[in-house]
Structure 1
């Protein structure tokens, strides 16, 4: 498979697994928080995770995204092509995973997700920092 135009580097298998695991854990934590807040009759103030290209773009633009994860099998490529340059401009680290379906499932939805932004890693911030360091090494 040829590399897509928007894919700037090839992440290692270990980095991909770690990234998907982080997305999965943050999504599960967000869901648990939403259930607790819902029982109290309140609304969650800030989501920990944003799913979908439009939501991710807004999170990066507003300076809320800590890490952006982009699927490498997005068709047409133009859907996510703006994300790497936008992340570079805003100083937000980004990485890739092979599949939209995997990214969607890891983020807690039953459909595909072209991109996901982690807004708040909560108790997994150490893992987030490790992933960011690995990504920065790959981009050099």
Structure 2
């Protein structure tokens, strides 16, 4: 899969899987910890409630989520990339694909969440 225009950095091996596992654990504990879809993700970032944003790399057309990395950088919200919409939808507990999502609560996994967020910020070169 080629790099899409909104992919601002390369993720280290295993980081996407770690991010998806965190989202899955949080959703199992509290279904309201994840905002699903591009509109809900955008609103969570703008309101300042998003703690970690997920972006799928196979979105077509890519302009659907192209604004999200810029918005995340403006609001200092860390974001990570996952390979497919299908795997993001599955983690969210949906039977459909999903272009983006935002964790708004790390529930009881704040240590894991903060660590992952810090690494994502460093990769995106956010201050």
Normalised to the residue count of structure 2, the TM-score between the two structures is 0.94
Structure 1 unmatched runs, 5+: 32-46
Q: Give 1:64-79 correspondences, 5 Å limit.
A: 64-79=49-64
In the TM superposition, residue 58 of structure 1 has moved relative to its aligned partner by 0.4
Tell whether the 8 Å contact from 1:67 to 1:132 is kept in structure 2 after alignment: yes
Hey, which bits of structure 1, 4+ residues long, moved more than 6 A? none
Where does residue 74 of structure 2 map in the other structure?
Answer: 89
Structure 2 unmatched runs, 5+: none
Cα offsets for 1:54-102 (capped at 9, x unmatched) = 0000000111000101011100001000000001111111110111000
> How many residue pairs get matched?
125
In the TM superposition, residue 137 of structure 1 has moved relative to its aligned partner by 2.8
Answering whether residue 4 of structure 2 is matched by residue 4 of structure 1, we say: yes
**Of 110-119 and 22-31, the range deviating more from structure 2:** 22-31
Q: Give 1:18-37 correspondences, 5 Å limit.
A: 18-31=18-31
Where does residue 39 of structure 1 map in the other structure?
Answer: none
Tell whether the 8 Å contact from 1:15 to 1:134 is kept in structure 2 after alignment: no
Structure holding more helix per residue: 1
One of 13, 35, 45 as aligned partner of 1:60: 45
Whole-angstrom distance in 2 between the partners of 1:65 and 1:9: 20
Cα offsets for 1:77-134 (capped at 9, x unmatched) = 0100000000111111111011100011011111111001000011011110111122
**Of 80-89 and 130-139, the range deviating more from structure 2:** 130-139
Whole-angstrom distance in 2 between the partners of 1:88 and 1:136: 9
In the TM superposition, residue 29 of structure 1 has moved relative to its aligned partner by 1.1
Superposition RMSD in Å = 1.0
DSSP-derived class of the 1:116 partner: strand
Q: Which one has a bigger Cα radius of gyration?
A: 1
